[in-house]
């Protein structure tokens, strides 16, 4: 079904407030989910809302906190997320970084004990849209196998980069798996086989059975290179944040375990001027103008497609699975309680 942006937003806010989330925090969390829907990434959208509520109920998410901060030197912020809502803790940390980087040039936050961030690109866009540069990394449950190995031992460990450009910043957001576990669940849900080389089953054998892949491991993108990058990110983020490694990570896919992955954000303020931003823009336009290969309509810069989808959906509405919308409507009623 298609729902309007406003209806989807109202429902999300009702649910979050009903679960005890303060207005400002509900606004941040709802905006994140809605932006994911707008950009065609439902795996990071409303689908996750019910779990947020369950986690609050189960005491593994504290909707009130923005995290506790301690600077180590002038430029490194150590954050205990205190089990707060992922984007609430993240935005609070970012607000400290963007301010601090104005005077120090660079500021970084290493965050532990925080819930799921959602789309990393959202944070990159926020920072780069205001003229600063962003680099971010985060980890997750072990879902990706080492190159040549049979077991999932690495998180999906995305890296995100945000650089100012016009009319909107360049935002790159790349995870270490050849595909997301959400996409594999989609194939399983539709009863379709997955392409070869995407995943292993629980015994570590290659499979095209999406259901078998759900209990197995996703291949690293780009084979040995993507594996190396994902492993580097796992070690980098986890050691700085004081988080958990590999198979010890929990809390982004379940409803009852504390979230112990790590996040790492870096904000760089080099006082980029209009001339530099115009150079970035010109370069991106040159890439867009690259003659396309056989069967390719045109060359895209990361974010181009998502931005087009966003405009369409703001105008036409969000396609939300009936099942998801039905569940959320019931949840909202339940949370509104006997007085409604």
Contact positions with its own copies (CB under 8 A) in 48-77: 71-76
Distance CA 12, CA 21 (A): 11
Please, are residues 162 and 278 in contact by the beta-carbon 8 Å criterion? no
Residue 195 makes contact with its own copies by CB under 8 A: no
The pair of three-digit structure tokens given for residue 223, joined into one six-digit string:
């084979």
Stretch that binds its own copies, among 32-40, 48-56, 147-155, 324-332 (CB under 8 A): 147-155
Determine if 110 is a binding residue for its own copies (CB under 8 A): yes
Tell me how far CA of residue 1 lies from CA of 11, 305, 326, in angstroms: 15, 22, 10
Check binding of 153 to its own copies (CB under 8 A). Answer: yes
Q: Helix, strand or coil for residue 319? A: strand
What is the DSSP secondary structure assignment for residue 257, as one 8-state letter? S
Q: Does 204 bind its own copies (CB under 8 A)?
A: yes
Nearest of 238, 239, 240, 244 to residue 259 by alpha carbon: 244
CB of 111 to its own copies, least distance (A): 13
In the complex, what is the shortest distance from the CB of residue 206 to its own copies, in angstroms, rounded to a whole number? 8
Q: Are strands 76-84 and 68-72 parallel, antiparallel or unpaired?
A: antiparallel
Q: Does 309 bind its own copies (CB under 8 A)?
A: no
| 194 near its own copies (CB under 8 A) | no
Candidate list 225, 308, 330, 333; residue touching its own copies; CB under 8 A:
225
Nearer to its own copies, 278 or 314 (CB): 278
Residue 94 as a binder of its own copies (CB under 8 A): the answer is no
Q: Which stretch binds its own copies (CB under 8 A): 25-33, 36-44, 287-295, 318-326?
A: 287-295
3-class DSSP state for residue 84? strand
């Amino acid at each position: 079904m298609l729902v309007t942006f406003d209806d989807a937003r109202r429902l999300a806010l009702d649910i979050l407030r009903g679960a005890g989330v303060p207005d400002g925090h509900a606004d941040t969390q709802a905006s994140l989910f809605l932006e994911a829907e707008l950009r065609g990434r439902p795996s990071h959208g409303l689908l996750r809302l019910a779990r947020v509520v369950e986690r609050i109920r189960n005491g593994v998410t504290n909707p009130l906190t923005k995290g506790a901060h301690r600077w180590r030197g002038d430029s490194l912020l150590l954050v205990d997320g205190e089990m707060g809502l992922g984007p609430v803790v993240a935005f609070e940390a970012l607000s400290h970084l963007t301010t601090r980087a104005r005077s120090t040039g660079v500021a970084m936050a290493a965050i532990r004990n925080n819930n799921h961030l959602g789309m990393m690109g959202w944070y990159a866009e926020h920072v780069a849209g205001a003229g600063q540069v962003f680099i971010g990394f985060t980890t997750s449950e072990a879902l990706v196998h080492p190159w040549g190995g049979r077991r999932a031992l690495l998180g999906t460990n995305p890296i995100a980069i945000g650089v100012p450009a016009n009319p909107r910043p360049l935002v790159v957001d790349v995870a270490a798996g050849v595909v997301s576990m959400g996409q594999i669940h989609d194939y399983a849900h539709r009863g379709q086989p997955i392409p070869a080389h995407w995943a292993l089953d629980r015994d570590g054998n290659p499979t095209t059975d999406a259901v078998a892949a759900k209990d197995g491991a996703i291949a690293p993108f780009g084979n040995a290179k993507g594996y190396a990058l994902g492993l580097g990110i796992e070690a980098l983020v986890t050691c700085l944040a004081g988080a958990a490694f590999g198979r010890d990570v929990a809390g982004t896919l379940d409803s009852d375990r504390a979230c112990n992955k790590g996040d790492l954000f870096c904000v760089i303020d080099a006082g980029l001027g209009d001339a530099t931003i115009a150079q970035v823009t010109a370069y991106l336009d040159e890439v867009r103008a690259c003659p396309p290969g056989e069967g390719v309509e045109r060359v895209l810069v990361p974010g181009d497609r998502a931005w087009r989808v966003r405009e369409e959906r703001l105008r036409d509405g969000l396609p939300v699975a009936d099942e998801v919308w039905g569940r959320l409507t019931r949840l909202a009623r339940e949370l509104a309680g006997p007085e409604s």
